[in-house]
Structure 1
Amino acid sequence: MLSKDIGIDLGTANVLIHVKGQGIVLNEPSVVAIDKNTNKVLAVGEEARRMVGRTPGNIIAIRPLKDGVIADFDITESMLKHFLTKLNVKGILSKPRILICCPTNITSVEQKAIREAAEKSGGKTIYLEEEPKVAAIGAGMDIFEPSGNMVVDIGGGTTDVAVLSMGSIVTASSIKMAGDNFDAEILSYIKKEYKLLIGERTAEDIKVNIGTVYPNGRNEEMDIRGRDMVTGLPRTMKVYSGEIEEALRESVAVIVQAAKNVLEQTPPELSADIIDRGVILTGGGALLHGMDQLLAEELKLPVLVAENPMDCVAIGTGIMLDNIEKLSKKKIK
């Protein structure tokens, strides 16, 4: 049995794996639960995510990736090994070729860490590609033409903004402001305004269910539970969409500014193409209510959300695996 080529979207929030010929076969949270006393891995992925904030003292749920790069090498390796074993992608005599995506401005040391983690978890040849480029391909953009395409990929740890032409990135920016920061802002807003402590999972639920970044874009409410900071007892209260917009305003302004900076550095001919083609939004952050409206208003450009924004990078790796021979020239030694 031969091994299969696989593409990995190694995200701060989720890991998606695309196996050549099979499509996306895995989509699980990038979380690992370990026993602090023995350093033994107890759970990986969805099972470990359910433990976040709910474990006894000796068990900790770790997210080994931070801001799109590896923060804990050994645990990232264990997580990748677990996923690859689960998928059974190794051949009897051969190892799979792996294509992994990374943010645009990571250092060579961070690139090396990603490559080594993939090698140690069972990869033969490792290819690294820049995330916004792969996301643009996965969103169905033809980036190999001599015309400008702009993509804004809002993930869990980083937001990548890039203008692409002729199959390469012309101008790009990667900022450490994305989904995780939104959760943290909601958490601190509720702590400050209502003296109520909530967990990361609750903050994420608020963002998904009633959150918006467009003023007056949504008018919904939600009951949340947490610990009262004054009495120390559990308490339930209501939060509203308008408050979440207020909590996220500053964070979203950073993303808007990054997009403006990239546009300012873009050659005029490509800028003209972007007016025709619009900006494509990918990544989980693209699903945040009002993000497309806000960017369209601020950039004065049409902004479209990709069809499956969460899966764009993984779909893109699949398309690139079909042309892996062309990539071999760009393999990172």
Structure 2
Amino acid sequence: MNEKQPEWYRELQRGPHVQPNFTREKKEAIVRQTETLGHGEKRRSRWMIRFSWAALSFIVVAVIVAVAFRENVGAPGGGGGKGAVASPEASPNATPIPKGQFFVIPSRQDGYLKDALPFSTEEVKKIWVKETQVPQDRMYVILQNLNMLEMTKAGTDDKPLSTESLIRFETADSVYRIPYDVDTNEYHLGGRGYYADDQVMLLMHGILQPDSKLAQLDRMFEQARLEMETREGGIDESFSYDGKRLTVAGKSYNEWEQLLLLRSSVQPILLGHYYDDAVQAVGNVTEYSDGVMQLNRSIVFTDGNYATPDGLAVGMSKEEVVQKLGKPNLQLDSKWSYKIGDYLKFHLYFDHNKIRCIVLSQPL
């Protein structure tokens, strides 16, 4: 047992702690290696975060594009297929394109005005008088007049307008302007004046001078027209009246027309001229101080002093009319018309069930 041990055995008995192998240099090397690994982990972590945000952004954009595409397919102007794009009109944020505005200058000064206009009346979408839009169901009054106006016959003396109001005709891409004088019932086109018809005259007074007598007549006539459009059934042609019973102050329409031409006791007030396309001539609208007005083929009585042979006069009720005269051939809420021969020539206009005016008319 006292045998001498080899050197390697003696080194083994000393153990690993006898010789200090974990030196300062090794510690510092381990620390440096740890820091290097930490920096790598941090860089890897930042890269992963950036990658996650990029992926999330891509998903959000893809969802937005998919939703926009689906809505566009059902929008006005969308094609419903791949790559469909909405028309500019369908976009609520589309900037409106300003329309060109032009004063109307006829291409010639004879023939019908419709053939000399820079636009077709069928293209007109809206009509404005100053800042008032003409109702859609009354645009025909002006458009029909432009179509039927014969320029040579409707022409007036060359003079400036006394009261100018612009009538604007709006088409899909342009606005055409025609100056108009409500006091003389004239259009001004290319330096010349042209008389409008009597229907335009009434309409324009209703818009520009709503308190005038012509404006009151316009509202009264328009009310009856609207009632006629919605009325069920037509004119009762089964009976007619003796013309002598439907005179005013003992005179028929023709007799009143002659009387007004020769009348000197009551001076007429000229309310304006009009062009009558039916006879291609210019006529006058006149008012008399005793409650008589002469329009185109109509004579209006607004004073209670004028009565029929049966005693009908302004201010009487509908019940009194039926008792004195009988039922009308055409019965509306605001207008009753009576037939003489083949035509309705005698008319009663009502306001709150009382006669507002009596009208004698002369159809062509």
TM-score bin (small chain): under 0.3
Q: What TM-score comes out, normalization by structure 2 length?
A: 0.21
Q: Structure 1 length as normaliser, TM-score?
A: 0.23
Q: Which has the higher contact order (CA 8 A, sep 6+)?
A: 1
Q: Which has the larger radius of gyration?
A: 2
Which structure has more strand as a fraction of its residues?
Answer: 1
